[in-house]
Amino acid sequence: MLKLKNLAWLALLLPGIVQAQVSEFELENGLKLIVKEDHRAPVVVSQVWYKVGSSYEYNGITGISHVLEHMMFKGTENLEPNEFSQIIARNGGEQNAFTGRDYTAYFQKLHKDRLEVSFKHEADRMRNLVIEPAELLKERDVVAEERRMRTEDNPQSLLREHFNAAAFMSSPYHHPIIGWMSDIQHYEAEDLKAWYQMWYAPNNATVVVAGDVEPKAVLDLAKKYFGPLEPETVAELKPRVEVPQKGLREIKVKAPAELPYLMMGWKVPTVTTITEDNSWEPYALEVLAGVLDGGNSARFARELVREQQVATSVGAGNSLFSRLKDLFLVAGTPANGKSVDDLQAAVREQIERLKQTPVTAEELDRVKAQVVAETVYEKDSVFYQAMQIGMLETIGLDWMVGEQYVDNIKAVTAEQVQAVARKYFVDDSLTIAELVPLPLDGRRPVSNAGDAHVR
Amino acid sequence: MFARAFVFVFTLLSAGLSWAGPEIQHWTTDNNARVYYVPAPELPMVDISVVFDAGAARDGDMPGTAKMTAAMIDEGTETMTADDIASAFANVGAKFGASSERDMAVFSLRTLTEEQAFEQALDTYTKVLSAPAFPQDAFGRIQQTLLTGLQAENQSPQAIATRAFYESLYNQHPYSVMPAGNADSVQKLKPADLKAFYDRYYVSSNAVVVIVGAVERKQAEQIAKQLTSGLTTGQPAEKLPEVPALNQAQQINKSFPSTQTTIVMGQTGMSRDDPDYFPLYVGNHILGGSGLVSQLSDELREKRGLTYGVYSYFRPMQQKGPYQFALQTRNEKAQEALTVLQDTLKKFITNGPTEAELTAAKQNITGGFALRVDSNSKIADYLAMIGFYDLPLDYLDNFNDKVNAVTLADVKQAFERRVNADTMLTVLVGGETETK
């Protein structure tokens, strides 16, 4: 079998690929426009990103960013409910939206000639949304159904929700993106109007366009449609810093299920929160995640799944790009005949080894090769390229941080991986959650999901 | 690693295709493998797939055989262990994937075309496909993994509903088998069963090779040759038996401790070469195949707030795949939602779409053609479909014309002839559903 001794070949590959054409503009009203050219196919992706998401919310209105995202399809001063969707459909487009902890984004995928349709109506709903109380009542029901489907009836999602609420006390990452059921069932039109007024404005938005377009033409279109919009006074966010954790937290969640599940999370810095002196640390954690779980040859698959057979599946993930301090996560399902405790012990042994022994050169090379390859593969998706730019800008970083990702990963040493393992994988900042299966005996569980009679 | 969490407004249900599409080159290797190739020189990467007619429809009386054979393919060859194989791909940043559904078993490789990386990845891919050893120790582990997967199904109302739906819809037909098999048969399987399955179906006469990426025609020929050279020539798989239609309505209720009831309704639909393909496809796009703007979404979500998402789709397969409707709603609304679903379907069969609806659907489908073939991976998926189901090479080129040719009368007649609201199979899985 061939083995690559070093990464010299990767250096030859990179120039020319990563230097895709990106243009950046700012309109007078503060709207940011970023255009990434990709001329492989006659298509365009248009995304509007707002700096608002569940981490901007507080108790009592959790999930309001998400329900507002739903209401953005329910009509403006110029359009009937659902009419925007129909217009995009008639133009051969696809559209959707998503809400995260740190952002809310709307997008259309269209033939390159139809970008104007997107801009016209995105600009309209940026300032002219109409929130009809009757429409909101229906949409509360829809979102409640969404929550039942995603969380209430999904034992692993339920565990994850409780896990986040235990790991974060004062940080808004405490509550779920979709919101608590009781909050979902009590939004009023006035709540939504106030939230919309506060955050939906050109000076709180980034428009990202990627595809077979010409930047100057996109800028002209943006000036035409977004240019006339009035900016808003956008309130400065309170820091809402997570209080320091003072010891190991362990929770159990009981739910009807067949399989147990384990989640472990350590508090870690992100690229956004790290001090300049330690700016390498989030990248070292990223490499560490790759050593544990970068595909089928990584330590988790090789040792926990194949060798020790203690897990059916187990994953690790670092949170590189979050607005606030976040978690390094490990989660998995014990193998048949093994317990959650067995799996936890095996994970802890892996963490201990990372602290004691530097990772091998071969492992480092493998992780770096995967990262380099992935940056090529990502270019196959116009949507993904736009997504990365929008996400970075919206959490307060420059899109260029994405372009520097490979270099930052390549600079990580085995000693740095060991150093972050020692610094951050300590029990005092660890939260552990265990899913305890209850029998699936066919009876409906006592629901703490809130009263079902909404109206 | 974990994907970041998002909450979508609705799930993307992209249906169908269509632009004067990529120019497909096609040839047959010396040992009868059919090759489909599209050059894509822009990015220094290539996507390769080998597709065998070796899905669960070939399981016979041992459900799970096809899936387990596919899952075991990279667990060891005569000269490499599972660890060796995993490292050989990962060390050059290559990605290998194996999957198995009812019709197809698909093995895919995505790699850089840089010479050293490419050679190592292709070499490993070739060995994995042509010399799997089905080692005993890995066998026991994969068996346990499949059994755990079956347990996971039991905690998902959607999975329970889907299994019940297929079993009743297809009854004795090979499509009744879930690719995941069942605990009984998975426990009984032996490495020799997989080896026999592999020997019969993983042969070049039963294979389609797809290549999309930055390789020249000559290189593509070489790739196809190398990939299939280790396979025996063998015979194509036998044609599957035809699917008998349901002739009476049936409802299955299953109790489950969930806050929602999952409703799956449907009947047998169409095959890939079905003469009614376009009228049925365009008609369904209007009824339930176009996300938030479909009739079903309008009735159930927009007007009544009964569900987060409702959809219907034809799943064309070698023989008739299902025509399926699905939604979830809170338990106390299950009956109301089912009634609205049935009424909307009946009305559509009786009245057909309006002229405006048909025009809008055609604009959506044909106008979105470029989006459906705007990446190497999407093109590769279409090539696999065209190759596997033996569709004409100009299938994509003619797609928009065929959509545009569909008339109101075509849709109405096709639905009247082919979709019968009175003989639907309906499965309800949920908290307050009593077993009748």
Residue type, A107: F
Q: Active-site residue among A28, A37, A69, A139?
A: A69
Q: Region B69-84: what's the mean pLDDT?
A: 97
CB contact under 8 A, B84 and A1: yes
Evaluate whether residue B16 is within a structural domain. no
Contact flag B87-A17 (C-beta cutoff 8 Å) = no
Q: Answer with the one of B178, B197, B229 that is the final residue of a domain.
A: B229
Listed residues B175, B200, B229: the one ending a domain: B229
**Separation CA A33–CA A390 (nearest Å):** 10
| Contact flag B9-A301 (C-beta cutoff 8 Å) | no
How far is B224 from chain A, CA to nearest CA, in Å?
A: 21
Say yes or no: B275 and B384 in one domain.
Answer: yes
B293 part of a folded domain: yes
Q: Torsion angle of alpha carbons A263, A268, A270, A276, nearest 10°? A: -170
Is the model's pLDDT at B48 over the cut of 70? yes
CA distance B111 to B125: 11
Query: Does B298 sit within 8 Å of A82, measured CB to CB?
Result: yes
| B170 and B291 both lie in a single domain | no
Same domain, B306 and B409: yes
Residue B13 placed within a domain: no
| A378-431 per-position pLDDT tens digit | 999 999 999 999 999 999 999 999 999 999 999 999 999 999 999 999 999 999
Chain B: closest CA distance from residue A370 (Å): 4
Helix, strand, or coil (residue A306): helix
Note whether B368 contacts A: Cβ–Cβ < 8 A: yes
Whether B347 is in a domain gets the answer: yes
Q: In CATH, what number is assigned to the domain containing residue B334?
A: 3.30.830.10
Q: Cβ of B116 and A2 within 8 Å?
A: yes
Q: Which chain A residues are closer than 8 Å to B152 by Cβ?
A: 258-259, 333
Which of A1, A9, A86 shows the shortest C-beta gap to B80?
A1
Nearest chain A residue (CA) to B146: A312
State the pLDDT at residue B431: 84
How are strands ordered across the β-sheet holding B105-112?
B25-28, B34-39, B207-213, B45-52, B105-112, B95-100
B64: left (phi over 0), alpha (psi -120 to 50) or beta: left
In order of A141, A188, B430, the CA distances from B307 in angstroms are 8, 20, 14
pLDDT score of B74: 98
Return the pLDDT at A235: 87
Q: Is B243:B170 a contact under the CB 8 Å cutoff?
A: yes
- The 3-class SS string of B366-431 reads HHCHHHHCCCHHHHHHHHHHHHHCCCCCCHHHHHHHHHHHCCHHHHHHHHHHHCCHHHCEEEEEEC
In a domain, B38, yes or no: yes
Range of B142's domain? 22-229
pLDDT, residue B5, reads 43
Residues of B in contact with A40 (CB under 8 A): 40, 42, 374-375
**In a shared domain, residues B87 and B186:** yes
Is A69 tagged catalytic? yes
Q: Which residue among B229, B261, B292 closes a domain?
A: B229
**Helices A215-225 + A115-127 axis angle, to 10:** 30
Query: Same domain for B339 and B264?
Result: yes
Q: From CA B420, how far away is CA B247, in angstroms rounded?
A: 9
| A232 token code pair | 């808003």
Rounded to whole angstroms, how far apart are CA atoms A25 and A86?
A: 30
Same domain membership, residue B83 and residue B194 = yes
Enter the DSSP assignment of B107: E
Same domain, B193 and B307: no
Residues 320 through 349 of chain B touching chain A, CB cutoff 8 Å: 328-332
Domain count, chain B: 2
Residue A20: predicted pLDDT = 65
Domain shared by B184 and B308, yes or no: no
pLDDT digits (tens, 9 = 90+) for B227-266: 999 999 999 999 999 999 888 999 999 999 999 999 999 9
> Are residues B301 and B403 located together in one domain of the fold?
yes
CA gap A66, A54 in Å, rounded: 8
SS3 B143: helix
Going by pLDDT thresholds of 50, 70 and 90, the confidence category of residue B436 is very low
Q: Is B12 inside a domain boundary?
A: no
pLDDT value for B12: 33
pLDDT at B2 over 50: no
Secondary structure of residue B114 in the 3-state scheme: coil
- Say whether B375 and A381 touch across the interface (CB within 8 A): yes
Question: Is the CB of B4 less than 8 angstroms away from the CB of A146?
Answer: no
Q: Are residues B376 and B262 located together in one domain of the fold?
A: yes
B223 and B282 co-located in one domain = no
- Chain A with chain B: Cβ pairs closer than 8 A: 277
Whether B239 maps to a domain, the answer reads no
Q: Got the DSSP string for B57-76?
A: GG-TTSTTHHHHHHHHTTSB
For residues B49 and B198, membership in a common domain is answered with yes
For chain A, which residues score pLDDT lower than 50? 1-12, 14-18, 444-455
Which of helix, strand or coil describes residue A163?
helix
ipTM exceeding cut-off 0.90 for this assembly: yes
Strand pairing category for A205-211 and A32-37:
parallel
B435 found inside a domain: no
